[in-house]
Chains A and B, each alone.
Chain A
């Protein structure tokens, strides 16, 4: 099992350009997440998807859109990149149980994005 994979690993954009960050998981998880991490900071949730076909905003959604393409894939799109979006982006997935309880998130290796 590859776990959570992210592409690309690195990307440099110019202000105003658009791009899509891809994330896929092979663990049959129902929930998926996008976080960003700025230097010296903890991770902040951008968007999450509790199941295929549903998405919800997290703490810092402005400037981003997401698509839960199917159960495996969850993409993050920057329509018009800004220097403030320079960050490391992490995708994660988890198996949410309706009965509650333990829910471990598995993280991908990250995408390092620089916006000039």
Chain B
């Protein structure tokens, strides 16, 4: 599975957009980009995923570069409840459904 690289921590002002980058330069054509978050030692929670197109759901937007080597998770209007550790994970479309978690980005929303 492709490895991912994320900044260890970021701050964002409440109400602003939080942009979390992820580098996955060794991603292959049949691998998804997934984002999960973990709020205060709870179990991780799925946010969004994408293959090559940009994606949006009620929680966030995912922007994947054209070469697929990096992506950005966007929380459009961050609230204090978005303070969490965010994990960017790459997994194959077929077969291996296991998730490999790195250390993620600790996002702190500042009031």
Give the interface of A toward B (CB within 8 A). Answer: 4, 31, 33, 35, 40-45, 48, 50, 58-59, 88, 90, 92, 94, 96, 100-110
Contacts and interface: CB of A to CB of B under 8 A. Distances in A.
A58 to B, nearest CB: 7
B41 A105 contact: no
Given A100-B94, A102-B49, A107 B44 contact: yes
A92 B104 contact: no
Given A40-B103, A48-B98, A107-B45, 14 more contacts: A35-B101, A42-B102, A44-B101, A58-B98, A59-B100, A90-B43, A92-B43, A100-B95, A101-B93, A103-B91, A104-B49, A106-B46, A107-B43, A108-B43
A42 B101 contact: yes
Interface in B33-91: 41-46, 49, 87, 91
Contacts of B99: 43, 45, 105
Interface residues of B, number: 22
B42 A110 contact: yes
A103 B103 contact: no
Interface of B: 32, 41-46, 49, 87, 91-95, 97-104
Contacts of A102: 32, 49
Nearest to A43: B101
Contacts of B32: 102
